[in-house]
Amino acid sequence: MLVFAKAKLVFLSVPKTGTTAWQKALAPVADIAVMDPPELKHAPVFRYNRFFRPMFEKFIAEDMEVLAVIREPVSWLGSWYRYRRRPFMKDRPNNTFDVSFDDFVEAYCKGERPPFANVGSQAKFVEPSRNGTAVTKFFRYEDHDGLHGYLESRLGQTITLGRENVSPEMPLALSADVDAKLRRKCAEEFDLYDSIR
């Protein structure tokens, strides 16, 4: 999470949406940069509302804009799948070395997900709180230029962005049956992504 007091902007760090690169580029100019532990770095809306928002409203402003990046759901799951195949994951119980992408997504669609497929939900991450606290500005992960331009304009400076925490490249495709199941079981993920223009 990055906080920019003068711009009255909070940039939430949705996992697997390139936010590590944005954090590295912007942390030096942020007023608050929450980099660790992961539970705080990747604070979803409910955690932001409970722990961070009251402090920000008291000391910065009540009308903070909350920004989040959302990735196309199959691409997002593919990034998690590839991430869990990185060498350092080899001996961990949640690695995906012996799991096909279809099996990974099938497991993700279950009510009780096995550890290797328990990667959360973008829709749940940005779900508005009962008191109305919500993300006020969304960007699609694929709209890199739009987000880059918006942040440069909002923060009043040029931003040089590198690549960080990149998962290994590999071709991934879902079978038609698994793709249909994912879209049926996790419709809220696709609805969220489709709502961002």
CA torsion angle 140 143 148 154 (round to 10): -50
- The domain spanning residue 38 has which CATH number? 3.40.50.300
pLDDT, tens digit (0-9, with 9 covering 90-100), for 86-137:
888 888 989 999 999 999 999 999 989 999 999 999 999 999 999 999 999 9
Helices 101-108 and 73-83 cross at an angle (nearest 10°) of 110
Do the beta carbons of residue 77 and residue 105 sit within 8 Å? yes
Dihedral of alpha carbons 122, 124, 126, 127, sign: positive
pLDDT in tens, 41-57: 999 999 999 999 999 99
* Closest C-alpha to 194, from 155, 149, 138: 138
Query: What's residue 75's pLDDT?
Result: 96
pLDDT in tens, 145-184: 999 999 999 999 999 988 777 777 888 999 999 999 999 9
Query: What is the per-residue pLDDT for 15?
Result: 96
Residue in the block written with tokens 């770095």 = 41
Domain tally, the chain: 1
Domain coverage including residue 86? 2-195
